[in-house]
Structure 1
């Protein structure tokens, strides 16, 4: 087994573990902002590590382009989705505060 294969296996296992921890966090956390954090941070790093493992398995420029494209799309879409979820939660919380009876 070459050093690149060993590095690819380590990245793949670590990426899978981070992605699994993100899914466990989504199920266990109660607060929406906690779930949002669990669903974005470790999940993105896990996917990026899996993509790195894929490139380490076949290190050539032919595979680097599509993998970089997927990595960029992942980083951009997750940050935008997290912003939209936080904004929706803020609006929902604000409307609940407005509907509360005044003391």
Structure 2
């Protein structure tokens, strides 16, 4: 393949990844609550990063730095959904204790047991 074709393909991947990351940032600003912000923080941001890493990998293909790009992509794909899940779980529990979510509190307490301080909220 010619160098110009490789450069164009690499630039397209980086551009697509940058656009997805921009959409994720806009989603983080636009959504109001933590539970709504979990989605743009995890899914499009990680896909954007993976596309940028693919574009960089195409650009530096025969070099040894390709392994570091693959490792960074694997860590991002594995860690981001877990972090978003934990943040959402914590935000949900805090909102139940604060009283902002009242209609689901008995259901949550039924499955999780007593609150953090050991008392059952009445």
Contact 2:42 2:84 survives alignment (8 Å): yes
Matched residue of 1:60: which SS? coil
**Consecutive unaligned residues in structure 1, runs of 5 or more:** none
**TM-score calculated relative to the size of structure 1:** 0.86
Larger radius of gyration, structure 1 or 2? 2
Q: Indicate if the aligned counterparts of 2:46 and 2:76 stay in contact, CA closer than 8 A.
A: yes
Structure 2-normalised TM-score? 0.74
C-alpha deviation, 1:61, in angstroms: 5.7
CA distance, structure 2, for counterparts of residue 60 and residue 42 of structure 1: 28
User: 2:27·2:37 contact (CA, 8 Å) conserved in 1?
Assistant: yes
**Deviation per CA, 1:18-62, whole angstroms, max 9, x where unpaired?**
101111110011132221101111100000011011111111261
Give the total of aligned pairs: 99
Higher relative contact order (CA 8 A, sep 6+): 1
Structure-to-structure mapping, 1:1-80, within 5 angstroms: 2-60=4-62, 62-80=64-82
Runs of 4+ residues deviating >6 angstroms: none
Q: Deviation string for 1:52-95 (max 9, x for gaps)?
A: 11111111261221111101111122112111111102211321
RMSD (Å), alpha carbons: 1.7
Distance (whole Å) between structure 1 residues aligned to residue 96 and residue 36 of structure 2: 19
